[in-house]
Structure 1
Amino acid sequence: MPETPELPLKDVRVVEMGQLLAGPFCGQLLGDFGAEVIKLEPPGAGDPMRQWGREKPHGKSLWWPTLARNKKSVTCNLRTEEGQDLARKLISTADVVIENFRPGTLERWGLSYAELSELNPGLVLTRVTGYGQTGPYSSRAGYGSIGEAMGGIRYVTGEPDRPPSRAGISLGDSLAGTFAALGTMVALHARNRTGRGQVVDMAIYEAVLTLMESLVAEWAVAGYQRERTGAVLPNIAPSNVYPTKDGQSILIAANQDTVFKRLATVMGRPELAEDAGYATHSARGKNMEQLDDLIADWTSTQLADDLLRTLDESGVPAGRIFTAEDMLRDPHFAARDAIVRLMVPGLGEVPMQNVFPRLTGTPGTVRWAGPELGAHNDEVYSALGLDPGVIDRLRRDDVI
């Protein structure tokens, strides 16, 4: 798709030096809104994400087209002096550098922020790591799963009688990438006033910690330790998944007093809304199990489609537990273009999530899927002043 002039970050150049997920997800978010994201990858293999999420019939990653969409791929061996020189030349033209190497790696390569900001005083260096750039754990290897455990979300996820569980996605990495993108935009905004760049230091465990609501205060002030509670939250009722006559599961959230009254009426049990055991938020929380049993007894007599229609007409929030198949055939997803489809060489048409949030005046777009390794070498290096002969020599020497 052609780039539209309305893209809000079209004047921002980003050099992405990270790999795997946390740093590159930050790059994806910026690229979605028009930033020119130039991804530096090791010659030969490239980012390991090119192999992750492999679907055997195609022999290609189905994750890469989304994670690397809207990016330009340039190969550069950062472990060589010539590769480091190339990186400096490119970074001197950039607004942002994203990296998620272990702390100290850029410094060993002569690419510390002190050195880079000498070349480019307005540069924003966004650094995503497991534990941050400082502190006693900073030198440890840190993956998203470890950050999820340290940040608190693993302890409270799962059934109470089983070990901590996880979400079925790389939550910690994606959260860190999201907050890194937020920090990058804040730093660019500050640069508009000061003319100076700065370092954005994003730790995965801190991105997870940000989501943990009042968990820390509850323990420190009230001595209350949140525990795993499965599909429900303590004292929030009714808000659970309930069975239907045709074997489906429907989530109903009617924990507000007025909404519960509507649910009770729909159930044919309006007296429940006046019962001292269920009439208030606090009472329903104390009697959650009994109330869930009453609701499940009712929903199990209903067909899922009929149940959802009735609840919707009555103003009771309810919905299916969506799978990817559900998303691809759902009319609301379709009406809002929540999923877009791009042609990918070797894979054909690949559906992927659209750009969010939606902006009414300057929306983001998915302009192309993740590129082949080194697809933009000639374009990017020629723009830096390298002639074709030099580019060919660097390619032969495995610098690019």
Structure 2
Amino acid sequence: MTSKQAMPLAGIKVLELGTLIAGPFCARMLGEFGAEVIKVESPQGGDPIRTWRVLKDGTSLWWSVQSRNKKSLTLNMKSEKGREIARQLALEADIIIENYRPGVLEKWGMGYEQLKAINPATIMVRLSGFGQTGPMKDLPGFGAIGESMGGLRYVSGHADRPPVRVGVSIGDSVAALHGVIGAMMALRHRDVTGGRLKGEGQMVDVALYESVFNLMESLVPEYDHAGVVRERTGGALPGIVPSNTYTTRDGENIVIAGNGDAIFKRLMLAIGRIDMAGDPELERNDGRVKRTGEIDGAIQAWCDTMEIDSALTVLKAADVPAGKIYSVRDMMTDPQFLAREMFEQHQFADGTPVKLPAISPKLSATPGQTRWIGPALGQHNEEVLQSLGYSAEQIAALKQDGVL
């Protein structure tokens, strides 16, 4: 295991104010690479994600991943004493991550401008549905809304059916990744302008819908210049041919991406369509797009004669990108996943073993690590408060007053 001192964000303090997915995922990634992450939770049940999806002893298995390496501090933010402790932590933090509705932190005396007035080096990552400005800024914005407004839902699914969602919280997660990128750029700027004591901080304003919108490739210029509205196309990649999902004889789904000019020719030769391999109209993508149905039909006809393992063997030999669509069961036994050590073995407090996904990206000199899995509610109350100078008697009084 890599030592904490060797991790790239060792010495960086992060305060996480928020719940569920976007803000906590952002903080999680910083913690995976060495940052000290203090997660503030309500004493009444904590982050709702603790009880989402599949549970073990009343706590979500998701929690063990989403909150690994974090210190759990319970604070009643409805009390002035709780808010004062949070303000102390915020002024000591290198990065503050929050995903409340705009205006909530300002009511608590912890808005970006309020903290910046005391500590100009403050870096605050603010994740919200619609950003900190604009006519929709005060509306609640979940990932599903961001995916819809940002354009992803409109292009997802089959043309003759309603739009579908991706099977994970992609809008929240993409926003979180934008938050991480923004935090790292802001941290770099702070360090080159004077560091923690004299450097210039800034606010990183991340809107869920904008994060999704940022993934939408050529959507805007295609509409603005050519009046093209990208529509749902099922498993195909519109305008890039062939790239689609096909079904093999044994009922398995296989993705084949033969859209490079040379790759297309190899693919056609591999499936026995010498005529299409030599057809000058199909040498380039713009010509193939005009005959998309014909090309997909030829590939599907070949797949109808093949079981998936045989099809993959043929396509691999022809150097054509192809793969089956993995379930988690496939991943857990796949040689590539195993060779890349994409699973980590850990255990719960009662000694029960559990596998977690390994940390990405992989850094050659300073890789991330899981130092501990998601903590119990309030597990680090004493440790965090003692670091702020609170005595055992003061901590006991805070508990008695319902602050913790």
**Unaligned stretches of 5+ in structure 1?**
none
Aligned counterparts, 1:177-216, within 5 A:
177-194=176-193, 195-216=199-220
Q: Kindly state the Cα deviation for residue 346 of structure 1 after the two structures are TM-superposed.
A: 5.4
Matches of 1:299 and 1:366 in 2, distance apart? Answer: 42
Aligned counterparts, 1:112-131, within 5 A:
112-131=111-130
Aligned partner letter, 2:390: L
Indicate whether 1:352 and 2:351 are aligned: no
Secondary structure of the 1:351 match is strand
Q: Is the 8 A contact 2:2 2:367 kept in 1?
A: no
| Cα offsets for 1:149-173 (capped at 9, x unmatched) | 1111111111111112110111110
Which residue in 2 is equivalent to 1:142?
A: 141
Q: State which drifts further: 321-330 or 86-95.
A: 86-95
RMSD of aligned C-alpha atoms? 1.5
Which residue in 2 is equivalent to 1:33?
A: 33
Q: Is the 8 A contact 1:60 1:347 kept in 2?
A: no
Which residue in 1 is equivalent to 2:99?
A: 100
Matches of 2:149 and 2:31 in 1, distance apart? Answer: 30
Q: Is the 8 A contact 1:3 1:367 kept in 2?
A: no
Matches of 1:125 and 1:108 in 2, distance apart? Answer: 16
Q: Kindly state the Cα deviation for residue 9 of structure 1 after the two structures are TM-superposed.
A: 0.2
Aligned partner letter, 2:287: A
Q: Kindly state the Cα deviation for residue 110 of structure 1 after the two structures are TM-superposed.
A: 1.2
Aligned partner letter, 1:392: A
Q: State which drifts further: 213-222 or 129-138.
A: 213-222
Matches of 2:351 and 2:264 in 1, distance apart? Answer: 48
Q: Is the 8 A contact 2:2 2:369 kept in 1?
A: no
Matches of 1:222 and 1:238 in 2, distance apart? Answer: 23
Aligned partner letter, 2:313: R
Matches of 1:14 and 1:373 in 2, distance apart? Answer: 18
Indicate whether 1:81 and 2:80 are aligned: yes
Matches of 1:346 and 1:225 in 2, distance apart? Answer: 54
Which residue in 2 is equivalent to 1:305?
A: 309
| TM-score, normalised relative to structure 1 | 0.96
Say which of 282, 285, 289 aligns to 1:285: 289
Which residue in 1 is equivalent to 2:156?
A: 157
Matches of 1:87 and 1:356 in 2, distance apart? Answer: 30
Matches of 2:320 and 2:301 in 1, distance apart? Answer: 18
Secondary structure of the 1:5 match is helix
Matches of 2:329 and 2:58 in 1, distance apart? Answer: 22
Q: Kindly state the Cα deviation for residue 58 of structure 1 after the two structures are TM-superposed.
A: 4.8
Which residue in 1 is equivalent to 2:8?
A: 8
Indicate whether 1:168 and 2:167 are aligned: yes
Residues 173 and 346 of structure 1: CA distance in aligned 2, closer, same or farther (over 3 Å): farther
Secondary structure of the 2:76 match is coil
Aligned partner letter, 1:359: L
Matches of 1:216 and 1:269 in 2, distance apart? Answer: 37
Q: Kindly state the Cα deviation for residue 351 of structure 1 after the two structures are TM-superposed.
A: 2.1
| Cα offsets for 1:18-54 (capped at 9, x unmatched) | 1111111100111111110000001121000101123
| Cα offsets for 1:116-167 (capped at 9, x unmatched) | 2233321101110000111111011111111111111111111111112110
Aligned partner letter, 2:326: F
Matches of 2:308 and 2:46 in 1, distance apart? Answer: 47
| TM-score, normalised relative to structure 2 | 0.95
Aligned counterparts, 1:231-310, within 5 A:
231-310=235-314
Matches of 1:349 and 1:306 in 2, distance apart? Answer: 37
Matches of 1:324 and 1:67 in 2, distance apart? Answer: 18
Indicate whether 1:322 and 2:326 are aligned: yes
Indicate whether 1:394 and 2:364 are aligned: no
Q: Percent of aligned positions with the same letter in both sequences?
A: 47
Secondary structure of the 2:92 match is coil
Q: Kindly state the Cα deviation for residue 275 of structure 1 after the two structures are TM-superposed.
A: 2.1
Matches of 1:251 and 1:220 in 2, distance apart? Answer: 31
Residues 261 and 140 of structure 1: CA distance in aligned 2, closer, same or farther (over 3 Å): same
Residues 296 and 347 of structure 1: CA distance in aligned 2, closer, same or farther (over 3 Å): farther
**Unaligned stretches of 5+ in structure 2?**
194-198
Aligned partner letter, 1:75: T
Secondary structure of the 1:206 match is helix
Q: Is the 8 A contact 1:58 1:346 kept in 2?
A: no
Aligned partner letter, 2:266: R
Which residue in 2 is equivalent to 1:362?
A: 366
Secondary structure of the 2:167 match is coil
Q: State which drifts further: 178-187 or 348-357.
A: 348-357
Secondary structure of the 1:334 match is helix
Secondary structure of the 2:189 match is helix
Number of aligned pairs? 399
Q: Kindly state the Cα deviation for residue 347 of structure 1 after the two structures are TM-superposed.
A: 8.2
| Cα offsets for 1:221-245 (capped at 9, x unmatched) | 2111111111112232221122222
Which residue in 2 is equivalent to 1:333?
A: 337
Q: Kindly state the Cα deviation for residue 81 of structure 1 after the two structures are TM-superposed.
A: 0.4
Which residue in 2 is equivalent to 1:342?
A: 346
| Cα offsets for 1:289-315 (capped at 9, x unmatched) | 121111111122122112212211211
Q: Is the 8 A contact 2:2 2:366 kept in 1?
A: no
Aligned partner letter, 1:212: M
| Cα offsets for 1:54-110 (capped at 9, x unmatched) | 34x753311111110111101111111000111122222210111100011011111
Matches of 2:188 and 2:102 in 1, distance apart? Answer: 25
